[in-house]
Amino acid sequence: MLILILNLAITALFLFLFFLKPFWFLLFDYKVYDLFFVLRGEKPASSEIVILAIDDRCLEKLGRWPWERKLLARLINKVSSLNPAVIGIDIVFSEPEKSDPFFAESISQAGNVILPVVMVYDKEDPEADKILIESALFIAEEDPSYSFLEVPSFKGALFPVLSLKEASAGLAHLNIFPDPDGVVRKEYLYLNYHGYLIPSFSLKIVSYYLGIPRQNLVVIPQKGILMGKRFIPTQKDGSILVHYYGSFQSFKHISVLDLLEDNVEKSLFENKIVLIGATAVGTYDLKVTPLSPALPGIEKHASVVASLIEGKNLLPVSNTYLVVSLLLTGFTSLLFAKLRAVFSLILLVFFSFFLFSFSFILFQKGLWFSPTYSFSLSVFQFLILVSFKFAFLEKEARFIRKVFSSYVTEKVMRELIKNPEMAKLGGERREITVLFSDIRGFTSLSEKMAPERVVEILNEYFSAITEVIFKWEGTLDKFIGDAVMAFWGAPLPQEDHAEKAILCAIEMIKTTRKLNETWQNKNWPPIRIGVGINSGEALVGNIGAEGKKKEYTVIGDTVNLASRLEGLNKQYNSEIIFSEYTLKKLKKDFLKNLKEKAKLLYLDEVKVKGKEVPVKIYKLEVKT
């Protein structure tokens, strides 16, 4: 009970931390997210996107940045002549210049140039800009009054000069929101501006490229964006996680200098998305991403554009799933108090591997299922519960091990004394017969009784069954809940191991019937058992850790089949089922005398796991 309370308290603490989201957990979460990108590796980027780069070569040849807008006008004319589908310029032209008329004319003639604005907090426009709201998204009619409180809101914006924004094919926001550690992991597909939802630079370019008119760009609050027939799922605040394709130059880069000097082919631009932006170090438009410490901002936009077109968006799973994951982790961690430290560690490693593998698989499918909190909870539970177990329960554990040692028969003890090498790690292959028995429906039965009564019934039942097993010279292997496992043919060889197991099973049924008669006077419920028997080769020996706990037991397919046969009793409404392999070991005289005790009947031919050929099974109906 104390361990359960401790487990619940730790789980509750982590649920509180999950909603509180302290920075150290967020940081670990971020790094796991970044690691998944690294493990995933570079992905082929869309060939429909071309980046016209203002690179270091351009600055060396054409002069330092920013350039005069006559040069930019010439650049737009050059690009437009190559017939691109859309042109996006990752530069905010907020200050007027003498050559603006030339630049505005080139933008107007191109007819497909998207210009950015930067939403700001420290500047407030008295009323919404009419040109900007012409690019705003519509809101689903089903919820026209939604306030978008979770969406970042701005009252001001840094605009291109009037002549340029009037000449453009549309405006869109260029804002970037790095996480607290400075890494850019998400993109807001729209921001709130005077009650209007302004699309991101990338979303605007995609809608223009796909030929989707503004009236078909509809925001479904807290769910996503309907873009024509496409649906783009978003978080409640309108953001998505950026699906980065790789590091620098994942997309096709062409230097502006090469274009101006006519060193490019028209096919590179025709019907393509052309993004113009700075990549030179001196322009300071570099972002930290999961795959790069210094990625040009224009390449981030290219990643978002490509992922929106290809439907490769990344989205975090709902908090509900993460909470369920935490609760399941807390429940699973209870095993740490049940298992030995080494097995608890193995369980922790296995669970962690499964958790991260599952999360990574979902990540590759476009879902971010954070393993951080569940992993942290399992590690913390392991440290606390295992330490608690060693500190307070080791004395009791030693006593329990001492009690269980009494279940080894005197024959096993004598065999070990005569042959000390059998106490070594490992064993030998022997032909044996294995028996499994189980109380039918005991789980539902025990739920109706007090725990003390359940223990009393089991103790009396196990005592009687143990005597029967020892009477027929069997080795009691273990109790598994309300089940018993025993075997014959080891450690001492027994030629009649199959016959002894059959006789033992018959007497187990009779003993159980006698117990029911006795229990009737105590008002205890009657029980019915099922027995499964199989013969064959198995690995027998003292198996365990050298110098630690060891257990004389049997393992192998023979054991597994015996266990499965026991389980079939419920299906066939029988008491004893054994395999054809056991039947082959029974002598004719034994079968003849067996008729006085039980009726042998062919039952079925079943396909069991691990066996290609179906196994014939038989049942015994024990006479009263």
pLDDT in tens, 539-585: 987 676 666 666 778 899 999 999 999 999 999 999 999 999 999 99
Residue 412 has pLDDT above 80, yes or no: no
What is the pLDDT, as a whole number, of residue 411? 58
User: Structure pTM?
Assistant: 0.61
Distance between CA atoms of residues 140 and 43, nearest Å: 35
Q: Which of 48-52, 148-152, 264-268, 602-606 has the lowest mean pLDDT?
A: 148-152
pLDDT in tens, 496-535: 999 999 999 999 999 999 999 999 988 888 999 999 999 9
Distance CA 538, CA 270 (A): 72
Sequence-ordered strand ranges (E) for 356-500: 367-368, 428-439, 475-480, 483-488
pLDDT of 493 reads 82
| Percent helix, strand and coil across the chain, each to the nearest 5 | 45, 25, 30
Confidence bin at 425 (pLDDT 50/70/90): very low
For residue 453, what are the CA distances in angstroms to 115, 157, 395, 514, 523? Answer: 79, 76, 26, 19, 11
Residue 576: the pLDDT is 96
- Render pLDDT for 468-505 as a digit per residue (tens, 0 to 9): 998 898 888 888 888 999 999 887 788 999 999 999 99
Residue 71 exposed, middle or buried by CB count within 10 Å (0-12, 13-18, 19+):
middle
| Mean pLDDT lowest among 45-59, 268-282, 380-394 | 380-394
Q: Per-residue pLDDT for 413 more than 70?
A: no
**Residue 146 confidence class, pLDDT cut points 50, 70, 90:** low
Q: Hey, which CATH number is domain 409-622, 3.40.190.80, 3.40.605.10, 3.30.70.1230, 3.40.50.620?
A: 3.30.70.1230
Q: How far apart are CA 497 and CA 411, in angstroms?
A: 15
Q: Which of 149-158, 162-171, 470-479, 546-555 has the lowest mean pLDDT?
A: 546-555
Which is more confident, 129 or 435?
435
Mean pLDDT of the chain: 86
Q: Sort strands 475-480 and 170-173 into parallel, antiparallel or unpaired.
A: unpaired
How many whole angstroms separate alpha carbon 172 and alpha carbon 170? 7
In this prediction, residue 254 carries a pLDDT of 93
Radius of gyration in angstroms for the set of CA atoms belonging to the chain, rounded to a whole number: 37
- What was the pLDDT predicted at 418? 52
Residues 242, 300 contacting (CB under 8 angstroms) = yes
The answer to whether residue 435 scores a pLDDT higher than 60 is yes
pLDDT value for 591: 93
Neighbours of 548 (CB within 10 A): 8
Q: What's the pLDDT score for residue 516?
A: 93
Q: In whole angstroms, give the CA distance from residue 184 to residue 181.
A: 9
Class of residue 601 by CB neighbours under 10 A (exposed 0-12, middle 13-18, buried 19+): exposed
pLDDT tens-digit map of 573-613: 999 999 999 999 999 999 999 999 999 999 999 987 767 78
Beta strands 86-89; 113-120: pairing state: parallel
Which of 581, 576, 573, 569 minimizes the C-alpha distance to 615? 581
Sequence spans of domains, the chain: 2-22+317-404, 43-134+146-216+237-313, 409-622
Per-residue confidence band for 403, with pLDDT thresholds at 50, 70 and 90? very low
Tokens of 206: 């995609």
Q: What's the confidence (pLDDT) of residue 392?
A: 59
The DSSP annotation for 468-517 comes to HHHHTT-EEEEEETTEEEEEES-SS--TTHHHHHHHHHHHHHHHHHHHHH
What are the tokens at 189? 């597909």
The confidence score (pLDDT) of residue 426 equals: 57
d(CA 610, CA 605): 15
Report the distance separating Cα 587 and Cα 160, nearest Å: 100
| The pLDDT of residue 17 | 82
Percent of the chain with pLDDT over 70: 90
Question: Is the model's pLDDT at 421 over the cut of 60?
Answer: no
What's the average model confidence in pLDDT over 148-166? Answer: 88
Predicted confidence at residue 393, as pLDDT, reads: 53
Cis peptide leading into residue 66 (ω within 30°): yes
- In a 10 Å sphere around its CB, with 0-12 CB exposed, 13-18 middle and 19+ buried, how is residue 231 labelled? middle
- Band the pLDDT of 201: cuts 50, 70, 90: very high
The answer on pLDDT for 192 being more than 70 is yes
Contact of 86 with 309, CB cutoff 8 Å? no
- How far apart, in Å, are the Cα atoms of 403 and each of 462, 548, 571? 14, 16, 35
Q: How far apart are CA 319 and CA 103, in angstroms?
A: 49
Token output for 488: 């014959």
Q: What is the pLDDT of residues 263-283, one digit of tens each?
A: 888 889 999 999 999 888 766
If 0-12 CB within 10 Å is exposed, 13-18 middle and 19+ buried, where does residue 158 land?
middle
Place 52 in a pLDDT band, splitting at 50, 70 and 90: very high
Check residues 448 and 352 and name the one with the higher pLDDT.
352
Could you report the per-residue pLDDT of 67-77, keeping only the tens digit for each?
889 999 999 99
Share of the chain above pLDDT 90, in %: 47
Q: Is the pLDDT of residue 336 over 60?
A: yes
**pLDDT at residue 172 in the model:** 94
Q: Mean per-residue pLDDT for 115-129?
A: 84
Cβ proximity of 333 and 320 under 8 Å: no
pLDDT band at 400 (very low <50, low <70, confident <90, very high): very low
> Number of C-alpha atoms within 13 angstroms, CB side, residue 411?
17
- Output the pLDDT for position 394: 54
